[in-house]
Structure 1
Amino acid sequence: MNKITKALGLSLLLSSAVSVYAQQPPKHTYKPDGYSIVTIETPEDVRFHATGLDSTSTGEVYVATRFGDVWKLAGDKWSKFAEGLHEPTGLLVDDDGSIVVAQKPEFTRLRDTDNDGQADEYSMLAGDWDFHDNYHEFTFGPVKDKAGNYYGTLNLSHGDPDAFSLGAMGSSGGYRGFAFKVNKDGEFSPYAWGLRSPAGLGSSPEGELFYTDNQGDWVPTSTFHLLQEGKFYGHPVSLAQRPGYSKESITNTAVEVFDKIREKPVALIPHLEVANSPGNPAWDTTKGQFGPFAGQIFIGDQTQSNIFRVLLDKVNGVYQGAVINFMNGFQSGNIRNEFDIKGQLWVGQTARGWGAAGGKPFGLQKVVWDGTTPFELHNIKLTKTGFTLTFTDKVDVNSVSLDSFSAQQWNYHYSGNYGSPKMNLEAVKPSKVSLSADKLTVTIDMPLTADKLVQIDFPGLKDINGRNVGVEKVYYTLNQLRK
C-alpha cells in the first residue's frame, strides 16, 4: 500500500494572509456578446470544491474535489469514481483511460480494473518530494508533454516554524518551490525552482510548459511564465537545495543578484485589475467552436471569479505578451479550466480559505458560445514603433482617432515584501493611429520603454454596427523591444 492510499487526514486550515494591496475586485458583471455561463448541478449534499478537472474524448468529465473525492459526469449523471485522497488540486485523464491525481504527498494513478465504474487500484506514480503536513504545501498538476513525461509544481509552506523563509512563504526542504518531471519510467527529477504558489500548470498544443504564480513575497504581482528546465523563477528559498547555495549564503545575498538571475514572466498579471489568484492556463483547441479566439489561452481567477485571456507575442525569438479580461460574474472562485470535445469551457470552482467575488463556496460551471461574434480585442502585437491591435469585428473608421486611445506604463518592485504597488507610473501619449484596409487592425505609434507593463485603453472604439468595444483595456508586458 502506498503512503496515502485511502488517507483519512485532511488539512482544513487555510490561509488568511492577503496582500497589503488587496481590495475588493470590481462588482460589475461583463460577458462578451454570444457567451453565457451554464451552472452544472453537482451531487447533492457534497462539498463540491472542484480543484481538479479534465474531460475525455467522448465527453465525460472527471472532477477532483478538495475534500478528497473524484467524481465522473457522464451525460447528466454523476458517479463517485474514487475517494480518500489528500486534498487533490489537479487531475489528468491519461491516454490509457486511467486518472492521475495530484494530491499533497504524491501523484496517484487511479484505475477501474473490474469496470464497475469505481477505481479499485490506487498506485503511486510519483512521490519523491516531502510533505510536512503544512496546509499550504499543495501539489499542482499533472500535465504531460508530447514525449509522455509528467510534470507538477510544489507550493511553498506558510506558517511552518521549521521552514526556511525570507518572507511570508518558506521551505522545509523536499523540493518545496520546485517544478518536477516524471519520465515514462517513473523516474523523478527536479525541473525548475524559485516558484512560490504555482497554482496553474499547463502544456500547450506544441508541448511547451507554462505556469501561473500567485502574488506575494518575491512575486510582486501574479505572473504567467514559460516553464523551462534548470531555470530560477524568483523565490530564493528553494535555492537552498541547489548546489553552490546554503541558507546562510542566500540570506546574505542582495536582492539585485536574485533579480538578475531570475526568469522574467512572459506576462505580468496586474493585481486587482485582472487577477489576484490565477489558476491553470487552458488553450482553446476547439478550432472555432468557442468563437474567434482559437489557439488563445484562458485562465480563471480564484478570488475575482473571472476569466482572462493571455495573448502571446514572440519578440526576438522570446515570448512576451498581454493579458485582457474576458468575462466575470461566475458563482465562485475559478481555479480550474478545461475545454471539452464540444468546444465548451468547463470551470472548476472553490472559494475555500481565500473567498471569492462570486459568493458561493464551490461549484462547477461552463461557458458556451451561441455563434454571435463579439466585438473584442482579438490580439495585440509589438511593432518597432508601437503596437497593432486586431479586433474580432470590423472597426468603425470614424471611431479611430487619437482621442479614442490612451496609455500608461509602470513596473513593480521585486523583493521579499508581500506584493508591490505600481512603481514609476506615468502616462504615455500615442502619437499616431491608423486603421487597416480590412478595418480589423488598428496600428498605434507611441514611445516604447523596455521592462515596463504597458496599459492601453481604447474606450472610444466602435464596430461598424455601432457596438462599443467590450473590454476596453489590455496590459502588455514589454520585456524587450523589437529589434
Structure 2
Amino acid sequence: MLKIKFPLTAIAFSLVSLCSFAQNAPTKIYKPDGYSIETIETPKDVRFHITGLDSAKDGTVYVATRFGDVWRYTNEQWFKFAEGLHEPTGLLIDDDGSVLVAQKPELTRLTDTNNDGISDSYEYVAGDWEFHDNYHEFTFGPVKDDKGNLYGTLNLSHGNPNAFSLGAMGSAGGYRGFAFQVNQAGEFIPYAWGLRSPAGIGASPQGEVFFTDNQGDWVPTSKMHLLQKDKFYGHPVSLIEIEGHTKKSISALPLETLAAMSEKPVVWIPHVEVANSPGNPEWDTTAGKFGPFSGQIFIGDQTQSNIFRVLLDKVNGVYQGAVINFMNNFQSGNIRVNFDKHGQLWVGQTARGWGAKGGKPFGLQKVVWDGSNPFELLDIKLTKKGFKLKFTEKLDVDSVIATHFNAQEWNYHYSSNYGSPKHNQKRLKISQVNLSQDGYEVDIELPLTADKVVQIDFTNIKDINDRQVSVGSVYYTLNQLIQ
C-alpha cells in the first residue's frame, strides 16, 4: 500500500491579475466574501490529472486520474486504491461503498473485498457501446437516479477517418454521442442521443439527471440540459443509429428541421464570459454549511479555471434558468466538483489536452466558507413583466434605481459551425424598478422575448453595509414566457 502524508496547505486569494492562456490578458478576480480556496498537495512525481471525484459518507475523498489510477484521501494521506484503468473520466461511490468508474471501454465496479484498502475486484458493469481507440471517445459518469438506475454519456470522436461526420466531430457507431442507462437489472439501454462532448453529468436531490455539453459544431455555446429518454439534443451524427435514418437522409435534413427536433437547454452558458468547457453539475445539499446557496447547482470550467452557479427556474412546468459566475483564479482546469459531508466543495483539476487559465497542469483544491455572509445575487425568477432578483443581504435603498441596472438580449445560431457569435444583440430598456418591503428583492420591468438569453448587469447595487457584489452580471435563458 502506498501511504503518503502531507500537511493541508491553505492558499488565500490574491487580488492580482491572472494571465489568460489564450490572449495573455489580465482577468478580473472575483469571489464572494467569506469564501477561500485551499490547495491539497498531491502525491509527489505523480501526474495527478483528476477526471473523477466523489466523497464517501465518512468524508474520504476518492479521485480517478486520467492516467488510470484511483486514489483515496483521508486524514491528510493519499492511498492508491486501484490502477490500470483506461483513461477514466468519472467516478461514483455507490451505496455499498464500492467505487464505480467510467473508463473508455466500460463501466467498472471496484471493490475492496478483504478490507486492506486496495481494490481486489474489478467487475464489469456495462460496456455495450463501441470504443474505436479514438482519443476523444470519452465515457462520462456514472450518476444514479432516485430509482437506482445508472447513467453515463458517450463522447463523439474527433479525427476518426471511419466516422460519419457533419462538422468537427463524428460517430463510427456504437452509440457515440448517446446518453445511456444501466437499469437495476443491469441492462444497458441507449437512452438519448444528439450529444457532442457531454463532459459533465449530475443527478439532483430529486433524482433528475442533467448534463452539460461543450461548445463546438452544432453546439453554439456550452449548455446544460435535463436528460430525458428518447430525446434528441442537437448533434445530428448520432441519428445514424436511429431507425429510419441514413447518412444520406441525415445530410439532407434542413437546418430548420434539425433545430425543431432538438431539445432546448435549461441554460445556455455564454462562451468565455462564463465557461468554455463545463464539467459536472453538483447540487449544494449541505443545508447551509456552504453558505446561503443551498439547493443551487455549482459547475466548474476546465478552460476558465472557475466555478459558476446555475439558478433553476420552472416556467409553465418546464426548467429554464440562469448562470452566474461564482469564483475564479483556481490553479488549473476545473472539471470535477463535489460537496463533502462537511460542506466543503472539492475541485478536481486537469489541463491535459486543453489549455486552462490556471497555470498548473493538474491538482486538487477545495472551496471553504468561514460563516460570514457574502453580498451576492442569490436567485433570479421570471415574472410576467420582467425578473425578480433576490440578494443575500438587504439592499441600500438609495442604490436601487433604474439607472443602476442594464440589460441586453441575444440568441445563438444553431449550425455545423464551431460555436456561434451572439445574434440579434440589443439593449433592453428597464422601465421600472421596485424594492421589496424586506429589502432583499428587486422587481425589474423590461420587454421580454422568448428564445433569447437576457443579460442583466447590477454592478452599482450596494447593500446596507455599502458593499458591492463581486459578480455583477447574470445570464437568464428565456426559453418561454409565463403563460
Partner letter of residue 64 of structure 1?
Answer: A
- Structure 1 segment 412-431 matched on structure 2, within 5 A: 412-431=412-431
Task: Give the deviation of 1:186 after TM superposition.
Answer: 1.1
CA offsets 1:130-168 (integer angstroms, 9 cap, x no match): 000000000000000111111000000000000000000
Letter in 2 for 1:324: I
**Cα distance in 1 between the residues matched to 2:321 and 2:466:** 29
- 1:395–1:462 Cα contact (<8 Å) kept: yes
Q: Does 2:344 correspond to 1:307?
A: no
1:267/1:323 contact within 8 Å kept: yes
* Pair 1:284 & 2:284 matched: yes
Pairwise CA distance, 1:25:
7.8
CA distance in 1, matches of 2:24, 2:275: 11
Deviation at 1:459, TM superposition (A): 1.2
1:232 matches 2:214: no
Counterparts of 2:445 and 2:191, CA distance in 1: 41
Is 2:463 aligned against 1:467?
no
CA distance in 2, matches of 1:59, 1:393: 31
Residue 175 of structure 1, CA deviation: 0.1
**Which residue does the alignment assign to 2:343?**
343
| CA distance in structure 2 between the partners assigned to 1:362 and 1:470 by the alignment | 27
Preserved CA contact (<8 Å) 1:25 1:272: no
Aligned residue identity for 2:120: D
| Distance change >3 Å, CA 23–CA 210, structure 1 → 2 | farther
- Cα distance in structure 1, aligned partners of 2:226 and 2:87: 26
Helix, strand or coil at the partner of 1:329: coil
8 A contact 1:201–1:209 mirrored in 2: yes
Distance 1:272 1:479 in 2: 22
Amino acid at match of 2:106: E
Amino acid at match of 1:224: M
- Aligned partner of residue 251 in structure 1, secondary structure: helix
Cα contact 1:403–1:460 (8 A) shared by 2: no
Identify the residue that residue 27 of structure 2 maps to in structure 1.
27
Alignment-derived partner of residue 155 in structure 2: 155
SS at 2:314 equivalent: strand
Give the corresponding residue for 1:248.
248
Where does structure 1 differ by over 3 angstroms across 4 or more consecutive aligned residues? 22-26
Residues 66-465 of structure 1 correspond to what in structure 2 (within 5 A)?
Answer: 66-465=66-465
Q: Is the 8 A contact 1:203 1:210 kept in 2?
A: yes
* Structure-1 separation of matches of 2:71 and 2:480: 45
What is the CA-CA distance between 1:28 and the residue it aligns to?
2.1
For residues 277 and 139 of structure 1, the distance between their equivalents in structure 2, rounded to whole angstroms, comes to 16
Q: Could you tell me which amino acid in structure 2 is paired with residue 240 of structure 1?
A: I
Instruction: Deviation per CA, 1:334-392: give whole Å up to 9, x if none.
Output: 00000000000000000001110001000000000000111000000000000000000
**Counterparts of 1:152 and 1:23 in 2: how far apart (Å)?**
34
Q: 1:60 deviation in Å?
A: 0.3
**Contact 1:25-1:273 at 8 Å conserved across structures:** no
Cα offsets for 1:8-49 (capped at 9, x unmatched): xxxxxxxxxxxxxx8678622211100000000111111000
SS in structure 1 of the partner of residue 357 of structure 2: coil
Q: TM-score with structure 1 length normalisation?
A: 0.95
How far did 1:258 drift?
0.5
> Could you tell me how far apart the structure 1 residues matched to 2:261 and 2:316 are?
20
Report sequence identity in percent: 73
> Cα gap change, 1:25/1:119 in structure 2, threshold over 3 Å: closer, same or farther?
farther
Distance 1:269 1:46, change over 3 A: same
SS at match of 1:408: strand
- Cα displacement (A) at 1:115: 1.0
Q: Which amino acid aligns with 2:350?
A: T
Which residue identity is paired with 1:439?
G
CA distance 1:469–1:476, change in 2 (3 Å)? same
Equivalent residue of 2:421, what SS? coil
Residue 279 of structure 1 aligns to a residue whose secondary structure is coil
Counterparts of 2:142 and 2:206 in 1: how far apart (Å)? 17
SS in 1 for 2:212: strand
Contact kept? 1:88, 1:139, Cα under 8 Å: yes
Aligned partners of 1:248, 1:260: CA distance in 2, in Å? 19
Q: Residue type of the partner of 1:171?
A: S
User: Can you list the C-alpha shifts for 1:190-214, whole angstroms capped at 9, x where unaligned?
Assistant: 0000000000000000000100000
> What number of residue pairs does the alignment pair up?
462
Cα distance change, pair 351–407 in 1 and its aligned pair in 2 (3 A) = same
- What residue in structure 1 maps to residue 11 of structure 2? none
Equivalent AA in structure 2 for residue 52 of structure 1: G
Q: Aligned partners of 1:69, 1:53: CA distance in 2, in Å?
A: 12
Structure 1 pair 223–203 and aligned structure 2 pair: CA distance change class (3 A): same
RMSD: 0.9
Q: Which runs of 5+ in 2 are unaligned?
A: 1-21
- For the residue of structure 2 that corresponds to 1:238, the secondary structure is helix
Q: What is the one-letter code of the residue matched to 1:146?
A: D
Distance 1:162 1:435 in 2: 60
Structure 1, residues 432-480: CA drift from partner, whole Å, max 9, x if none? Answer: 0010010000000000000000000011100000001221010000000
* 1:41-60 aligned within 5 A: 41-60=41-60
Corresponding residue SS for 1:153: strand
Aligned residue for 1:373, secondary structure, equals coil
Give the Cα separation in 2 of the matches to 1:323 and 1:224.
10
Secondary structure of the 1:423 match is: strand
Q: What is the CA-CA distance between 1:253 and the residue it aligns to?
A: 0.8
Q: TM-score, normalised by structure 2?
A: 0.95
